[in-house]
Amino acid sequence: MQKIVTNLWYDTEAEQAAEFYCSLFEDSKVTNVVPYTEAGPREAGTTMLVDFELNGQKFTAINGGGDYHYTHAMSLLVNCDSQAEVDRLWTALLADGGHEIECGWLNDKYGVPWQIWPSEADQLLTGSDPAAINRAVAAMLGMKKIDLQAMRDAYNTPAT
pLDDT digits over 111-133, tens only?
Answer: 999 999 999 999 999 978 999 99
Element (H, E) at 1: none
Using pLDDT thresholds of 50, 70 and 90, give the confidence band for residue 67: confident
Query: Cα-flanking dihedrals φ and ψ of residue 47, to 5°?
Result: -70, 130
Give 139-149 pLDDT, tens digit per residue: 999 999 999 99
- Furthest-apart CA atoms within the chain: distance in Å: 71
Report all structural domains of the chain as residue ranges with CATH numbers, in order of start.
Answer: 6-63 (3.30.720.100), 76-156 (3.10.180.10)
CB 116 within 8 A of CB 104: yes
**Residue 110 scores a pLDDT above 80:** yes
* pTM confidence score: 0.92
CA distance 15 to 19: 6
Say what the pLDDT of residue 69 is: 86
